[in-house]
Amino acid sequence: REPARAVDWTQRRQVQGKESLPTVVVVVVVAMGCAPSTEEEQVTKALDRKLRQEYNATKDVIKILLLGTGGCGKSTIMKQMKRITKNTMTPVEIKEYTVTIRDNLLSALKQIATAAMHQFGYDDELKKDILGITNKFAEWSPTVIANHASKGMEGKELKELSTEVSKFMADPVIQKTISRGNEYCLLDSASYYIKEVGVPAIMATDFAPKFEHIVRSRKATESINEYHFERGGSKLTMIDVGGQRGRRKQWIKCFDNVTVILFIASIAEYDMMLEECATRSRMHESYDVFNGIRNLEFFDDTPIILFLNKVDILREKIAAKPFVFEDFEGDGKSEDDVLDFVKNYYIDGDDNMIVHKTMAIDNNNIENIWTDVEKYIFQHNLDGVGMMDQ
């Protein structure tokens, strides 16, 4: 018989002298007139085995998908889950977070300097030596400092940087700029790192961040991160994907076989604008993304749990300045009024929506909420299995 011929699906046809798009080919291998050869049977069986193995490996896994816009706290929830499930960080991971925290601090200082000089027009009020320090920030980076460690320069550079930053922070204009942080998207953890931890501690050569430091660190999720763990004899996978506009195109890769979606919404960003679009409200963006996800037919049978996150930051904000948002008619300094309004804003009449008010950096808060969420997930998964078995 004639040997099998592989079909090249990338071939393009000529139609009336013009090249057309590739034709979809259903038959990949064409065998002329007789049964497959032994070699072909082996390939087919090997492919079948692989598909069965992949199916068996994933069919019993509870898949939890974390969604939300950039900076909402998805990665913080993931860190908390690793802590709750006793996932101990390695020395390498701790070293990486040391670099991240220093980078967060320096990024915040650059944000403050830029806002002071260009957004608020404070440059005439800044002392000359402070202006000189701001120019240096562009030259410093934790990565550069870490690379110099092998040359014995890390200690000297860190000490010099710590001294310069302390001078910068002591300037009254800088303090005034920090107090207006909501107007230029200052990093949430900036005040904590500067006031609670302290610049000298972070810049010390022996700085080894604790979990309370790490959980507040911020690093944009640029890829799809998966965390696999077991609870009560069940296998779970939690997936974190980037929330910035440019990263959302990755989300569709994670949509298959999702057991539950945890949508994280930062309720402290009601008065802030997107980094990607300075005229677009962050809360409007978050609501539109949330609404888009829950209206997808793909997720008709997938429960969505809403986390209204960063209640702690919201509390600080409304204590300093009353909450203001379109259609809000309550007491802008009442936490209950504000939380009820934001909850109703998101659920938009869907009283069956499961909603939790969260503080992702608070260990006890997340542990208590996860206990409730975990019970719901397991029950929903059992109900789903029962329906499939009927």
- Alpha carbon 189 to its chain centroid, in Å, reads 15
- Alpha carbon 99 to its chain centroid, in Å, reads 18
Residues 95 and 86: their CA atoms lie apart, in Å, by: 19
| End-to-end Cα, the chain, rounded Å | 48
Residues 243 and 69: beta-carbon distance below 8 Å: yes
Q: How far is CA 110 from CA 106, 107, 114, 332, in A?
A: 6, 5, 6, 32
pTM of the model: 0.77
- CA dihedral 384→309→292→69, nearest 10 degrees, is -120
pLDDT of residue 209: 94
Residues 63 and 254: their CA atoms lie apart, in Å, by: 10
Residues 357 and 97: their CA atoms lie apart, in Å, by: 27
Question: Under 8 Å CB-to-CB from 172, ≥6 apart: which residues?
Answer: none
User: Could you tell me the maximum CA-CA distance found in the chain, to the nearest angstrom?
Assistant: 90
Phi then psi for residue 24, to 5 deg, are: -70, 125
pLDDT of residue 53: 58
DSSP-derived letter for residue 273 is B
Which letter, b or e, does each residue of 173-192 get, where b requires 16 or more Cβ atoms within 10 Å of its Cβ? bbeebbeebbebbbbbbbbe
Question: Under 8 Å CB-to-CB from 269, ≥6 apart: which residues?
Answer: 71, 72, 282, 283, 286, 310
Q: Which amino acid is at 164?
A: E
Signed CA dihedral, 374, 377, 383, 386: sign only: negative
For the chain, 390 residues long, give each residue's pLDDT as a single digit of tens: 444 443 333 333 333 343 433 333 333 333 444 455 677 777 777 776 665 555 445 557 999 999 999 999 999 999 999 999 988 888 889 988 988 898 888 888 888 988 888 888 887 887 777 777 777 766 666 565 655 554 444 667 778 888 888 888 888 989 999 888 877 878 889 989 988 999 889 888 888 999 999 999 998 888 899 999 998 889 999 999 999 998 898 899 999 999 999 999 999 999 988 888 888 999 999 999 999 999 999 899 999 999 999 999 999 999 989 999 999 999 999 999 999 999 999 999 999 999 999 999 999 999 999 999 999 999 887 765 443 444
pLDDT of residue 287: 97
Burial class (CB within 10 angstroms; exposed 0-12, middle 13-18, buried 19+) of 244: middle
DSSP for 218-233 reads: -----S-EEEEEEETT
pLDDT of residue 235: 94
- Say which residue the tokens 């069919």 belong to: 59
Q: How far is CA 92 from CA 97, 99, 208, 225, 229, in A?
A: 9, 11, 11, 18, 21
Residues 36 and 47: beta-carbon distance below 8 Å: no
- Express each pLDDT in 280-328 by its tens digit: 999 999 999 999 999 999 899 999 999 999 999 999 999 989 999 999 9
Q: Pairing relation of β-strands 304-309 and 354-357?
A: parallel
